[in-house]
């Protein structure tokens, strides 16, 4: 922690002199991120999130070339001995229409929300095959985790302590969260980062978007990289745990000034850090686009298929810390057989509960999108998108000596080893739309969506030890139908040179019903519907040309998910969030400093209490009141060959009047008594009070860069009781990257990168869960399960573009 604070102190107090600072803007004065700056036809740099770039040179006169996808090239000659700072305006090009499909749902430069933009340059240099959460890890208030421990396979992300179920994710403005669970499964779209052009992360409620309510943040991914020139781009990565990634990108360039075609093929494999937690992933992305001066048509098809060995169970805390007595308790409390006992005792922190050779998750998703954009005038635009997603797959499980009557009624007292598959087969389709008009003082956006989800949940037994026994029919089947409609109006008005007012109103309606049977063969029959009004208002005020303040108040509502209706003994209520944000930004000649304060007040937030359903699953119940309060600080400093960036989040996260539910089963497990423990004020689970990041980048030579990265995450509680015995220890991890961008004749790019992750071999865990019960008043069981992450590991990457 002292190391992190030292880095932040250096960043805030350092001073530097620069030869020249430039800022790239579009014709409307908006900052352009990720623009390429070529100096004297040789040295290349890129604009940062503020549209800024810096040049250090001993020459008095320099020539620069500015290029960016979607804009026309700009050339300029500058006498940097006389001019120290200058703005550059670049004109719209025909391919700029590719950006329109996400603008209606994204925050803009002067929006009163906390957000970060990741440019194509940042995505490309950090994309080594690990999932999207790992590309976002350096942004404020973010924590990440990986079931397999290495960042490939099932991964997760939290923003301000909220997991992906509460983070709204869109791809080209189209919802990606599962309609029923609100979950985000990055493993279903392996290497989507290689087709991403930009990613925006908004923290808090943020700007109105399509899909479920944002309770922790939003992640907006824009895919596609239209190019005026044809290219072939090949990337490969290889490293620890037999990890391999191969990606091939093809782009036709702009044909006959109108057509553009793109194709990506990807394959990723890894054995994983956790035992047997392998991943076998493939994906593709294809796009055909037609551009005119006033319109664009884009057809996009991308698909991902994942086959991963399950590592969902986690590792007993006693196994992680090599506590033999604790492991013996796990064996007794869980009734382990000899095989399970040997697996636990003879493993280490990479323990995997599953040993059946085909205990896998197998799923595929196919996405189809059509985007139409039309310029109604020089100041107004209309966009329409149609989409369809087909998902299907299963996870397979081996069940030893299972009771067959749990599946079919005709088999009383028949026990057998069996293999079952639990399937999900679903369709998701609909459309999104937006209208945008801009004048000198007013910006008007009208947008929305209508989406339909249809899903089948069913299970099948595929084999047993009983000869000649075949089960063709599913042992459970339920059908779900969900419709989601929303419309939003954003009206922004410039009241003066310094003051801009933002209003954003959304009405969202949904209906969700399901009937049939669940995996425990219990009856499913629910019908839920509601209409939400989600208003937002804010302002942005320029204190001077280099600094501004902003503030916003937003309301978000979110419906219960499928499992809440299935498990809850009482009808679950929808959740409501009131989000207040206040920020201060300042741009120095050598960087920037941003501060954001947030206060998030929750009503009826759904949380687990320890209460169980009929088959032992956790039930979520509404907590009347919970709160998140924090401050987010981020800054960047350029000191000649050094580029230092940092972020720090300090927060308090509380739930009030929390009732923990425990069960007393009696000493002979023949009782069922409920014990409640009340906490007037306790910490919300998985919400660290401190999250810090620092990156020191040093450009040692013209084309060589070294980066030293540090990430600190404070202690996280596994439940809402604030008990330190049920928590994840804080951790500080450091990584080192060495990059080289070489100029080779006949090649547009040759990029080489070596990464040493967790270089000090910190043994840490980033996620977990806990449960407890009584077996008689004198015997209390508390078990913690953790997800250990990899120690020191390496990755080598090579990227060639011709």
Give residue-wise pLDDT tens across range 305-315: 999 999 989 99
Q: In whole angstroms, what is the distance from residue 319 CA to residue 344 CA?
A: 7
The answer on pLDDT for 168 being more than 60 is yes
Question: Which of 11-15, 60-64, 212-216, 576-580 shows the highest mean pLDDT?
Answer: 576-580
Of the CA atoms within 13 Å of residue 228, those in its CB half-sphere come to 11
Q: What is the mean pLDDT of residues 395-419?
A: 91
Q: In whole angstroms, what is the distance from residue 199 CA to residue 193 CA?
A: 9
Q: Which residue has the tokens 């057509």?
A: 259
Q: Are residues 39 and 104 in the same domain?
A: no
| CA-closest candidate to residue 574, choices 609, 541, 551, 603 | 603
**pLDDT tens digits, one per residue of 572-593:** 899 999 999 999 999 887 888 9
Q: In whole angstroms, what is the distance from residue 52 CA to residue 22 CA?
A: 6
Query: Can you give the pTM of this predicted structure?
Result: 0.89
Q: Are residues 141 and 74 in the same domain?
A: no
Least confident range from 25-34, 138-147, 325-334, 532-541: namely 25-34
| CA-closest candidate to residue 737, choices 696, 701, 789 | 696
Burial of 179: CB neighbours in 10 Å, binned 0-12, 13-18, 19+? buried
Tell me the residue length of the chain.
Answer: 802
Task: Give strand ranges (E) for 49-162.
Answer: 52-55, 61-67, 74-79, 85-89, 114-118, 142-146, 155-159
* Residue 775 pLDDT: 86
Pair 248, 264: CB distance under 8 Å? yes
Provide the CATH number for the domain around residue 83. Answer: 2.60.40.1120
The answer on pLDDT for 694 being more than 80 is yes
**pLDDT tens digits, one per residue of 239-294:** 999 999 999 999 999 898 889 999 999 999 999 999 999 999 999 999 999 988 88
Least confident range from 101-115, 298-312, 549-563: namely 101-115
**What distances in angstroms separate CA 331 from CA 327, 328, 348, 417, 786, one per listed residue?**
6, 5, 15, 21, 17
State the SS3 of 426-457.
Answer: EEEEEEEEEEEEECCCEEEEEEEEEEEEEEEE
Q: Which residue has the tokens 């636990």?
A: 344
Residue 426 in any domain: the answer is yes
The answer on pLDDT for 662 being more than 70 is yes
Q: Are residues 59 and 193 in the same domain?
A: no
Pair 463, 424: CB distance under 8 Å? no
% of the chain surpassing 70 pLDDT: 95
* Residue 314 pLDDT: 92
Residue 717 in any domain: the answer is yes
Tokens encoding 8 = 């932040």
Pair 556, 213: CB distance under 8 Å? yes
Domain of residue 221, residue span: 99-314+352-801
The answer on pLDDT for 18 being more than 60 is no
The band of 409, judged by pLDDT with boundaries at 50, 70 and 90, is confident
Residue 347 in any domain: the answer is no
Pair 802, 746: CB distance under 8 Å? yes
Which of 73, 92, 111 represents a domain boundary (last residue)? 92
Q: Are residues 200 and 250 in the same domain?
A: yes
Tokens encoding 262 = 């793109």
Q: Are residues 64 and 107 in the same domain?
A: no
Least confident range from 60-74, 132-146, 386-400: namely 60-74
* Residue 3 pLDDT: 44
* Residue 4 pLDDT: 46
* Residue 215 pLDDT: 86
**What distances in angstroms separate CA 77 from CA 18, 56, 65, 66, 750, one per listed residue?**
18, 15, 9, 11, 28
Residue 319 in any domain: the answer is no
Least confident range from 68-77, 405-414, 518-527, 742-751: namely 68-77
- Structural domain total, the chain: 2
Pair 301, 367: CB distance under 8 Å? yes
Strands 85-89 and 114-118: unpaired
Pair 86, 66: CB distance under 8 Å? no
Q: Are residues 527 and 548 in the same domain?
A: yes
Average pLDDT, the chain: 89
Residue 345 in any domain: the answer is no
Q: Which residue has the tokens 């929300």?
A: 113
Q: Which residue has the tokens 């944000």?
A: 581
The answer on pLDDT for 759 being more than 50 is yes
Q: In whole angstroms, what is the distance from residue 484 CA to residue 718 CA?
A: 33
The band of 9, judged by pLDDT with boundaries at 50, 70 and 90, is very low
Which of 92, 117, 138 represents a domain boundary (last residue)? 92
Which of 92, 127, 155 represents a domain boundary (last residue)? 92
Q: Which residue has the tokens 């997800």?
A: 787
| CA-closest candidate to residue 185, choices 448, 395, 454 | 395
| CA-closest candidate to residue 306, choices 266, 273, 274, 276 | 266
Q: Are residues 86 and 148 in the same domain?
A: no
Pair 208, 448: CB distance under 8 Å? no
Burial of 100: CB neighbours in 10 Å, binned 0-12, 13-18, 19+? buried
Q: What is the mean pLDDT of residues 663-687?
A: 87
Tokens encoding 284 = 């593709």
Provide the CATH number for the domain around residue 570. Answer: 2.40.170.20
| CA-closest candidate to residue 141, choices 789, 714, 654, 540 | 714
Least confident range from 44-58, 189-203, 608-622: namely 608-622
Q: How far is CA 588 from the centre of its chain?
A: 30
The sign of the dihedral angle between the CA atoms of 336, 339, 342, 343 is: negative
Residue 337 in any domain: the answer is no
The answer on pLDDT for 545 being more than 90 is no
Neighbours of 641 (CB within 10 A): 12
Q: Are residues 719 and 689 in the same domain?
A: yes
Max distance between CA atoms of the chain, in angstroms, equals: 92
Region of residue 719 (left: phi > 0; alpha: psi -120 to 50; beta: else) = beta
Tokens encoding 747 = 């090649």
Neighbours of 366 (CB within 10 A): 15
Q: In whole angstroms, what is the distance from residue 120 CA to residue 448 CA?
A: 27
**pLDDT tens digits, one per residue of 485-539:** 999 999 999 998 899 999 999 999 999 999 999 888 889 999 999 999 999 999 9
The SS3 of residue 3 is: helix
Pair 160, 716: CB distance under 8 Å? no
Q: What is the mean pLDDT of residues 617-642?
A: 88
Q: In whole angstroms, what is the distance from residue 157 CA to residue 723 CA?
A: 23
Q: How far is CA 84 from the centre of its chain?
A: 39
* Residue 21 pLDDT: 85
Q: In whole angstroms, what is the distance from residue 181 CA to residue 528 CA?
A: 14
Q: Which residue has the tokens 């998030």?
A: 600
Residue 341 in any domain: the answer is no
DSSP state of 619: E
Residue 256 in any domain: the answer is yes
Task: Give strand ranges (E) for 310-359.
Answer: 315-316
Q: Are residues 190 and 299 in the same domain?
A: yes
How large is the C-alpha radius of gyration of the chain? 27
The answer on pLDDT for 476 being more than 70 is yes
Q: Which residue has the tokens 């040759």?
A: 750
* Residue 789 pLDDT: 97
Tokens encoding 363 = 């799923």
Report the Cα–Cα distance between both ends of the chain, in Å, rounded.
44
Q: Are residues 87 and 112 in the same domain?
A: no
Q: Are residues 119 and 223 in the same domain?
A: yes
Q: In whole angstroms, what is the distance from residue 305 CA to residue 192 CA?
A: 12
Q: In whole angstroms, what is the distance from residue 199 CA to residue 224 CA?
A: 12
Q: What is the mean pLDDT of residues 545-555?
A: 94
Least confident range from 34-43, 159-168, 228-237, 260-269: namely 34-43
Q: Are residues 69 and 180 in the same domain?
A: no
The band of 8, judged by pLDDT with boundaries at 50, 70 and 90, is very low
Neighbours of 108 (CB within 10 A): 17
Strands 279-291 and 295-309: antiparallel
Contacts of 616 (CB under 8 A, 6+ apart): none
The SS3 of residue 12 is: helix
Contacts of 549 (CB under 8 A, 6+ apart): 540, 541, 543, 582, 583, 584, 585
Tokens encoding 321 = 């810390």
The SS3 of residue 713 is: strand
Q: In whole angstroms, what is the distance from residue 585 CA to residue 547 CA?
A: 5
């Amino acid at each position: 922690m002292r190391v992190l604070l030292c880095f932040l102190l250096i960043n805030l107090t350092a001073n530097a002199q620069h030869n020249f600072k430039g800022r790239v803007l579009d014709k409307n004065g908006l900052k352009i991120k990720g623009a390429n700056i070529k100096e004297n036809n040789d040295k290349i740099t890129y604009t940062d999130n503020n549209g800024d770039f810096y040049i250090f040179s001993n020459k008095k006169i320099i020539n620069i070339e500015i290029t960016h996808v979607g804009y026309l090239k700009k050339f300029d000659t500058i006498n940097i001995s006389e001019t120290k700072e200058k703005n550059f305006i670049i004109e719209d090009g025909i391919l700029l229409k590719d950006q329109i499909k996400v603008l209606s749902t994204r925050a803009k430069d002067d929006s009163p929300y906390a957000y970060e933009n990741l440019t194509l340059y940042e995505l490309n240099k950090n994309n080594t095959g690990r999932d999207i959460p790992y590309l976002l890890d350096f942004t404020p208030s973010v924590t990440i985790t990986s079931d397999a421990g290495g960042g490939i396979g099932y991964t997760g992300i939290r923003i301000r302590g909220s997991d992906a179920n509460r983070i709204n994710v869109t791809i080209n403005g189209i919802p990606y969260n599962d309609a029923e669970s609100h979950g985000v499964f990055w493993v279903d779209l392996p290497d989507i980062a290689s087709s991403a052009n930009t990613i925006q992360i908004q923290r808090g409620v943020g700007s109105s978007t399509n899909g479920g309510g944002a309770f922790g943040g939003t992640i907006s991914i824009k895919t596609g990289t239209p190019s005026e020139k044809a290219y072939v781009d090949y990337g490969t990565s290889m490293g620890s745990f037999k990890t391999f990634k191969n990606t091939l990108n093809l782009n036709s360039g702009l044909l006959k000034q109108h057509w553009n075609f793109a194709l990506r093929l990807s394959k990723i494999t890894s054995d994983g850090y956790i035992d047997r937690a392998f991943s076998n992933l493939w994906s593709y992305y294809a796009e055909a686009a037609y551009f005119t001066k006033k319109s664009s048509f884009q057809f996009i098809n991308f698909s991902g298929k994942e086959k991963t060995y399950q590592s969902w169970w986690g590792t007993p805390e006693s196994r992680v810390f090599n506590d033999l007595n604790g492991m013996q308790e796990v064996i007794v409390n869980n009734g382990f057989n000899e095989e399970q006992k040997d697996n636990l005792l003879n493993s280490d922190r990479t323990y995997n509960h599953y040993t059946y050779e085909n205990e896998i998750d197998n799923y595929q998703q196919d996405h189809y999108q059509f985007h139409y954009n039309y310029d109604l005038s020089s100041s107004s635009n209309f966009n329409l998108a149609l989409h369809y997603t087909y998902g299907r797959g299963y996870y397979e499980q081996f069940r030893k000596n299972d009771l067959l009557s749990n599946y079919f009624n005709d088999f009383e007292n028949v026990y057998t080893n069996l293999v079952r598959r639990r399937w999900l087969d679903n369709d998701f389709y609909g459309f999104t739309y937006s209208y945008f008009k801009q004048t000198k003082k007013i910006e008007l956006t009208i947008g929305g969506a209508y989406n339909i989800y249809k899903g089948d949940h069913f299970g099948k037994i595929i084999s047993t030890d009983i000869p000649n026994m075949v089960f063709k029919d599913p042992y459970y089947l339920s059908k779900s139908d969900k419709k989601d409609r929303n419309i939003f109006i954003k009206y922004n008005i410039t009241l003066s040179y310094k003051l801009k007012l933002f209003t954003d109103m959304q009405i969202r309606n949904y209906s969700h019903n399901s009937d049939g049977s669940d995996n425990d063969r219990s009856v499913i029959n629910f019908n839920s519907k509601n209409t939400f009004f989600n208003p937002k208002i804010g302002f942005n005020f320029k204190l001077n040309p280099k600094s501004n303040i902003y503030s916003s108040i937003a309301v978000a509502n979110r419906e219960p998910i499928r499992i809440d209706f299935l498990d809850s003994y009482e009808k679950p209520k929808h959740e409501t969030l009131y989000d207040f944000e206040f920020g201060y930004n300042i741009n120095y000649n050598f960087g920037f400093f941003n501060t954001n304060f947030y206060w998030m007040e929750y009503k009826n937030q759904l949380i687990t209490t320890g209460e169980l359903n009929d088959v032992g699953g956790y039930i979520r119940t509404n907590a009347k009141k919970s709160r998140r309060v924090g401050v987010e600080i981020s800054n960047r400093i350029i000191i000649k060959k050094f580029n230092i960036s940092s972020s720090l989040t300090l927060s308090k996260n509380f739930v009030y009047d929390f009732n923990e539910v425990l069960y007393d089963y009696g000493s002979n497990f023949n009782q069922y008594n409920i014990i409640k423990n009340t906490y007037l004020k306790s910490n919300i689970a998985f919400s660290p009070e401190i999250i810090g990041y620092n990156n020191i980048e040093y450009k040692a030579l013209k084309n060589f860069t070294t980066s030293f990265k540090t990430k600190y995450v404070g202690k996280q509680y596994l439940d809402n009781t604030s008990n330190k015995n049920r928590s994840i220890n804080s951790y500080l991890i450091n990584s080192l990257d060495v990059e080289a961008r070489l100029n080779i004749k006949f090649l547009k790019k040759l990029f080489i990168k070596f990464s040493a992750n967790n270089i000090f071999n910190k043994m840490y865990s980033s996620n977990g869960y806990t449960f407890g019960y009584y077996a008689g008043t004198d015997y209390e069981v508390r078990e913690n399960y953790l997800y250990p992450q990899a120690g020191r590991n390496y990755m080598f990457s090579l990227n060639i573009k011709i």
